[in-house]
Chains A and B, each alone.
Chain A
Amino acid sequence: MKYLGLVLANLRRKKTRTLLTVGSFAVALFLFGLLAAIHFAFYQGIEVAGVDRLVVINRVSIIQPLPVSYRERLLQMAGVQAVTSANWFGGVYQDERNFFPQFAVDHETYRDMFPEFVIPDQEWAAFSSDREGCVVGAALAQRYGWKLGDRIPIRGTIFPGIWEFNVRAIYRGSRPGDDEGQFWFRRDYLEERAPQWIKGLVGWYTVRVADADTAAAVARAIDDRFANSPFETKTEPERAFAASFAKQMGNIQALILIIGGVVFFTLLLVTGNTQALAVRERTTELAVLKTVGFSDHLTLLLVLAESTLVALVGGVAGILAAKLVTPGLTQALPGFTVYLPTADLLMGVALALAVGVAAGILPAVSAMRLRVVDALRRV
């Protein structure tokens, strides 16, 4: 700790250079945080998917419906604890660009199926007694400035006409990164107003199994049950279902990794070079330190400390900046929850430190190996 003064003094030698290097780290880690948050947005569904929930869709195609009658039959199956259903509404609010998912849900069972979404009891009760009521996510409400009691008009596309709903409840996610951008209304209202062809049909079922370990077995059992019927099913654990969507997004993950890799490699190159330059400029001073009695080891540590400190300060600043920006991105990109998980945040800092050390190691070693007699030989 007493050497901190010396380390800082050396960094102050060329203030601009130190600031630029700190800035480089900040920029790189900001980008890292951004990429991690975007990665989360794309793969979010997987992370937050319930381990004890299954998704049941029509085997033919996800856009094909399933009959309402399946609900009772699913409930009777071994291992099934609870069943709920939803329909995709696909309406437009004001402008096609304001995209958010709208679901017509089985309001008696939906809330219990998704305990991660927190809704105050009296709000849910209001929703349950209003046929035209709706539940909106907190982020969604914030984006459009909706409050309890507002009447929201949605232009149906699959189901034509203007549909109006009363905001009766606002749900919050209980975990950071939960999707707060959904819009739920009641299926019985859809059933009442919708054209003939949708009556008695739901989009998909969500099933809770009593024991998460039996999930795969129950899924198979469900599909077997409805095989060879007019509405064959395809059942998957929620996580697998979400993953298949992410997989279809293509190689977003690869893209992010490549960009991240390029950024860090460049950063390493730049800071390594800067550090090497900085060390080369002060051979004499390093030699003097050694004549005073600083050991080779200590000299190595001092040089390493410089690059590491710069990395740490810049890295922490950058990643914190990313964390601050992510809520803004969530607002700007409809349909996405952009969030930087703490694990990724810590990893970012660790990476910054690693780069700081890696960039400084070669110059530090050369500083360690510096022989006083060579350095101080008179010109």
Chain B
Amino acid sequence: MVRVDGVDAPETLIQVRNLDKRYQRGSEEIHVLQGLNLDVTPGEFVAFMGPSGSGKTTLLNLLGGLDVPTSGSITVAGDELTRMSAAKLTRWRARHVGFIFQMYNLLPVLTAFGNVELPLLLTKLNRAQRRRQVETALALVGLADRMDHYPRQLSGGQEQRVAIARAIVADPSFLLCDEPTGDLDRASAEEILDLLTALAKEHGKTILMVTHDPRAAARADHILHLDKGVLVETAGEGARP
């Protein structure tokens, strides 16, 4: 279930109340988010849409603990982000969030294996255990045979799949995607969306995706529009009340 009216939904994973975000640009103050509310229960696939500059990426950064709100609260799996110190927030992020970017953002100096392994370096797993999880993640995205390839040896679509593998390898609570298909051709984009859909439906992952592409948004369970600093719901394919 997804709500944007500030009313509690049962068993929420993510709960945002009265989220306010302002920042300075030169001499003017931009009030990008104004009293935003959001409730997301586990397993939902949510798309955020909205005009450029509406604050979609800002919202994503706040949800991922990369930024701090001016006021309001964000609670994920019972943890209040706004009460955490920077160090705690980083640890929290490592445990709970998987990021997927438009530009994939793989480290060119590491192989696919190395890139996917990165989040696991922060855990206490030993080498063998890390290897197992990486292999599983890569198999899930269909790139088990490309483990030792460097990003420059992969196509755009393959790079994004590695990025997804990296995002899920540590089994985070939810995935945040910022225009994941923005840089891909039609066919690769479809592959990625299929993958995300599978992650949501078959593996029960909670996915929050910012996108410009209506076709990508259509894959989500819910489409939310960010307008004048708050979220408004519109219908999507497979939408549930």
Contact-residue bracket for chain A = 20 to 34
CB < 8 Å neighbour of B121 from A2, A284, A296, A373: A2
A9 touches B107 (CB 8 A): yes
Given A293-B90, A373-B61, A288:B109 Cβ within 8 A? no
Residue ID in chain A nearest B122 by CB atoms: A293
| A291 cross-chain contacts in B, Cβ below 8 A | 64, 66, 93, 97, 99
For B83, the chain A residues whose CB sits under 8 A away are none
- The reply on A372 being an interface residue by CB < 8 A is yes
Q: Complex formed: what's the CA distance from A296 to B114 in Å?
A: 21
User: Chain A's interface: helix, strand, loop or mixed, by majority?
Assistant: helix
B118 within 8 A of partner (CB):
yes
| B91: interface (CB < 8 Å) | yes
* CB <8 Å contact, A294 and B107: no
CA distance A166 to B32 in the complex (A): 99
Among B69-122, those with CB < 8 Å from A are 86-87, 90-91, 93-95, 97, 99, 101-102, 105, 107-110, 114, 118-119, 121-122
Q: Which residues of chain A have C-beta atoms less than 8 A from B57's C-beta? A: 377-378
Whether A97 sits at the interface, judged by CB under 8 Å, is: no
Q: Is A154 an interface residue (CB 8 A)?
A: no
Q: Mark A1-39, 1 if CB is under 8 A from B, else 0.
A: 011011001101100000000000000000000000000
CA distance A333 to B86 in the complex (A): 62
Considering only CB atoms and an 8 Å cut-off, how many residues of chain B contact the other chain? Answer: 28
Contact yes or no, A294 B122, CB < 8 A: yes
The reply to whether B90 and A285 form a contact with Cβ atoms under 8 Å apart is: no
A293 to B170, CA, bound (A): 11
With a cutoff of 8 Å between Cβ atoms, the chain B residues found around residue A297 in the complex are 87
Q: Is B166 an interface residue (CB 8 A)?
A: yes
The winner among B91, B107, B119 for most chain A CB atoms within 10 A is: B107
Do B91 and A295 touch across chains, with their CB atoms under 8 A apart?
yes
Q: How far is the CB of A212 from chain B (nearest CB, A)?
A: 58
- Is B67 an interface residue when CB atoms closer than 8 A count as contact? yes
| 5 CB < 8 A contacts A-B | A285-B107, A292-B94, A292-B99, A292-B122, A295-B90
A: residues with CB less than 8 A from B are 2-3, 5-6, 9-10, 12-13, 284-285, 288-298, 372-373, 376-378
Instruction: Across the A-B interface, give the 8 residue pairs with the lowest CB-CB distance, nearest first.
Output: A293-B94, A9-B109, A295-B90, A288-B105, A372-B66, A291-B99, A13-B109, A293-B93
- B residues with CB within 8 A of A: 57, 61, 64, 66-67, 86-87, 90-91, 93-95, 97, 99, 101-102, 105, 107-110, 114, 118-119, 121-122, 127, 166
